[in-house]
Chain A
């Protein structure tokens, strides 16, 4: 589990949008995993199980209407035009971060799992709990949206 932590942090940072919120997500995931450790079946992949837990928490948090993770600045407000000066200074988001934040959650997790975490489509689909074909199409849509946004930015 300790060996997995750096990768889990990376995935969490990608989902949550920045490393600080990512670590909060990571902590929640670890706590849930430890509390449910008996449900992990020996012989199955621990990493997939952890990713699934993390992704479920992230989805749940989003459904709960929590916007506290949404630390990026809206395009309409302009870059670096947050209402809160301290927050603006604390959260420096790159083009990539902002583009990722604009992706729908299903596309964002597909992109992260395949393009950053390096999972095969089948493994990523199992983590997300969708058919491989669905994962594939989400990935393409997310990829196209990212390319368009990053193309504009450059």
Chain B
């Protein structure tokens, strides 16, 4: 019987079946040299398996599991497509994407007290008005008491801004007299982290703002433009 070394290796790896396997098994049993080769083959196999086993039993590094943990992002294969998708999202008037960053920042102002107008609707007091006039959402520093949550254009055309702070929160809209307070909510507790959550009253204010708005919240550029135009 002619027996190639390839065939012997295949035998040692359990690749052969049936009659041929039986023939080789008989030949190996009868020939110590062949038996030695089969034994050496299997020993090497065992040695290599042992050698590489630790890699397979060690914890998988986070950077690899993280790749699989974000199937949505990982699915994005085409930057152009992803860009289109983002652009499509941007046209949907939803607040979350701008409220998030807005909530992450806060503004240094100790206390704000809405001043009362003489006839009906209250107007922001000079201190609050100063903040409403000057501060852009994108420029707020973290760790302060009063924040501008966002700006939007109301259905009547006024620019309005949602603010929140320890002393009170609300929605102020710019008209000829100044910042008219359209809605007042409870001020939320002062926040010191950049990741503060919107309190219930802030949520109510944002919901109210959404009802009042005639489009999406102003993004940073639009807000800056509105400021340049004196919020009109």
A interface vs B, CB < 8 Å? 1-2, 5-7, 9-10, 13-14, 19, 22-23, 26-27, 30-31, 34-37, 94, 96-97, 111-112, 114-116, 118, 120-121, 133, 136-137, 139-140, 143, 146-147, 150
Indicate whether B120 reaches chain A with its CB closer than 8 angstroms: no
Per-residue 0/1 for B113-150: is the Cβ within 8 Å of any A Cβ (1 yes, 0 no)?
Answer: 00000000000000000000000000000000000000
Q: Are A136 and B9 in contact (CB under 8 A)?
A: yes
Chain B interface residue count: which class? 20 to 34
* Cα distance A14–B65 in the bound complex, in angstroms: 20
- CB closest residue in chain B, given A94: B51
Which B residues are CB-close (under 8 A) to A136? Answer: 6, 9-10
Q: How far is the CB of B78 from chain A (nearest CB, A)?
A: 9
- CB closest residue in chain A, given B63: A27
Q: How far is the CB of B118 from chain A (nearest CB, A)?
A: 64
* Total contacts A-B at CB 8 Å: 88
Choose one: A10, A120, A147; the contact of B55 (CB below 8 Å). Answer: A10
Q: Are B48 and A137 in contact (CB under 8 A)?
A: no
Give the 10 A-B CB pairs with smallest separation, nearest first: A34-B74, A10-B56, A6-B56, A115-B45, A10-B55, A136-B6, A13-B55, A35-B77, A96-B51, A5-B60
- CB closest residue in chain A, given B41: A143
B interface vs A, CB < 8 Å? 5-6, 9-10, 13, 15, 40-41, 44-45, 47-49, 51-53, 55-58, 60-61, 63-65, 67-68, 71, 74-75, 77
13 contacts between A and B (CB under 8 A): A5-B65, A27-B63, A27-B67, A30-B68, A34-B75, A35-B77, A96-B47, A116-B49, A116-B52, A121-B13, A133-B6, A136-B9, A147-B44
Q: Are A137 and B45 in contact (CB under 8 A)?
A: no
- CB closest residue in chain B, given A1: B68
- CB closest residue in chain B, given A146: B44
Q: Are A30 and B44 in contact (CB under 8 A)?
A: no
Q: How far is the CB of A7 from chain B (nearest CB, A)?
A: 6
